[in-house]
Amino acid sequence: MDEITQKVSDRYAKAASTGEQMCCPTSYDMANLQSFIPEEVLKISYGCGTPAGLKSVAQGETVLDIGSGGGIDCFEASRLVGPTGHVIGIDMTDTMLEIAQRNAPIVAANLGYPSSNIEFRKGMADAMPVEKGAIDLIISNCVINLAPDKRKVFQEMFRVAKPGGRFTISDIVADQPVPQYLIHDSEKWGDCLSGALTLTDYIAGLTEAGFLGLHLITSSPWQVIDGIHFFSVTLTGYKIPAATTVSTVRYATLRGPFSRVVDELGTTYFRGVPQPITQNVATLLSLAPLAEHFVLSPDQLCLDQADSRWTAVYPTKGPCLWQGHFALLAGPFVEATDDDHHLYRRGEPVEVCNRTLTVLETAAYAPHFAIINRATQRMSEETDSCAPDGSCC
């Protein structure tokens, strides 16, 4: 265990005994959790999600919690997977593991289970004590940014996930690279700040590990330090299994709302234009976060604005008001273009005016973007015509 990891572990152990609040606030439904989780666990629950990914859990599934701490997310997962399911929590801090293990039989009794369906193991996120291909759902709540080598963590996640398995993780990311003077600040590591990757690098690490269908569940601002914006994101992605049957799908037609997108396998689509696709691409486009954007068919199918399946959100005409907003595409596409010719590359901040912001806040666009505001003071209300015809740049 290197020096930073040891200091982080020591700080979390101290927080467990003193009640110090760590990382960013959560919004757990404490009234519900108090009905079966002891107060000792609830008071040391740290994280930046609520509880990440557990809304998608099915009875009988196996769930892994990376950085399980006092066990709150494991105990909620235990309730959701039922007595036939299984939950594994891994943590590097002995104090946390002791609290979780002590409370596991109490939670099982409160749930009416004959025995606990949870096991807590000591281990590191980049070397998990979990067998290959064992996990249906991986969750983690503001923990991975504490690991010095996050790419090893992502590779471990892919290793332990079942084919067809998934992850939903909450973490802190930054809008620009964190400088060395913060990286070497061990206190800010414990605050989930110094170890933060940019959103671009975080998503790239997950896709390089092999996950596909990455998409944003939610995001919220956290802190600004020396002009660096730290914000919380909850992301989901999938370990796609090898195809076992031959699909009849041969073409994909983009419905919108984007006018052009590039998927994670490198295929480019233009709205309304049928694109030949391979079986692997068809499997990718069938995932929930992508399926709503495409019409998949065995034959070429063109769409136009008269077709009810065509979707678009056009900006209003007129000048722009610049208020300091930046938009970060967070999937499920690596690249996308809107109807005002903005090019978004996944994770990269793009400055947008009030007209574009209004478009991105619509139901069609909002699920795909994290929005931050870099303005340090109230901006003037002066508008600007970005182009001769009054359209945005």
Strands 335-337 and 343-345: antiparallel
**pLDDT at residue 294 is higher than 80:** yes
Better-predicted residue by pLDDT, 301 or 385: 301
Percent of the chain with pLDDT over 70: 85
Percent of the chain with pLDDT over 90: 73
Tokens of 159: 């290793």
The rounded distance, in Å, linking the Cα atoms of 390 and 26 is 43
pTM: 0.89
**pLDDT at residue 372 is higher than 80:** yes
Question: Strand 268-270's sheet: what is its strand order?
Answer: 268-270, 260-262, 335-337, 343-345
State the Cα torsion 278-284-289-292 to the nearest 10°: 30
Reduce the DSSP state of residue 356 to 3 states and report it.
helix
Please name which of 290, 287, 266 lies closest in space to residue 278, comparing C-alpha atoms: 266
pLDDT of residue 382: 59
Whose tokens are 């369906």? That residue is: 117
Whose tokens are 């892994």? That residue is: 64
pLDDT-based confidence at 142, cuts 50/70/90? confident
E-strand ranges in the chain read: 62-66, 86-91, 118-122, 135-141, 161-174, 212-225, 228-238, 251-254, 260-262, 268-270, 274-276, 294-297, 325-329, 335-337, 343-345, 349-351, 369-373
State the Cα torsion 92-102-12-82 to the nearest 10°: 70
Whose tokens are 């152990």? That residue is: 13
**pLDDT at residue 109 is higher than 50:** yes
Q: Which DSSP category does 176 fall into?
A: S
Alpha helix segments (H runs only) across 66-130? 72-81, 94-111
For 315-371, write each residue's pLDDT tens digit: 998 889 999 999 999 989 999 999 999 999 999 999 999 999 999 999 999 999 999
**pLDDT at residue 212 is higher than 70:** yes
For 246-293, write each residue's pLDDT tens digit: 889 999 999 999 999 999 999 999 999 999 999 999 999 999 999 999
pLDDT-based confidence at 43, cuts 50/70/90? confident
Better-predicted residue by pLDDT, 230 or 7: 230
pLDDT-based confidence at 1, cuts 50/70/90? very low
For 110-123, write each residue's pLDDT tens digit: 999 999 999 999 99
pLDDT of residue 184: 77
pLDDT of residue 46: 61
Tokens of 382: 């002066």
Better-predicted residue by pLDDT, 15 or 121: 121
Q: What is the CATH number of domain 3-238?
A: 3.40.50.150
| First-to-final CA distance of the chain | 50
- Count Cα neighbours of 366 within 13 Å in the Cβ-side half-sphere: 7
**pLDDT at residue 151 is higher than 50:** yes
pLDDT of residue 7: 52
pLDDT of residue 176: 95
Measured at the CA of 372, the angle between CA 370 and CA 374, to 5 degrees, comes to: 160
The rounded distance, in Å, linking the Cα atoms of 148 and 178 is 13
Better-predicted residue by pLDDT, 380 or 375: 375
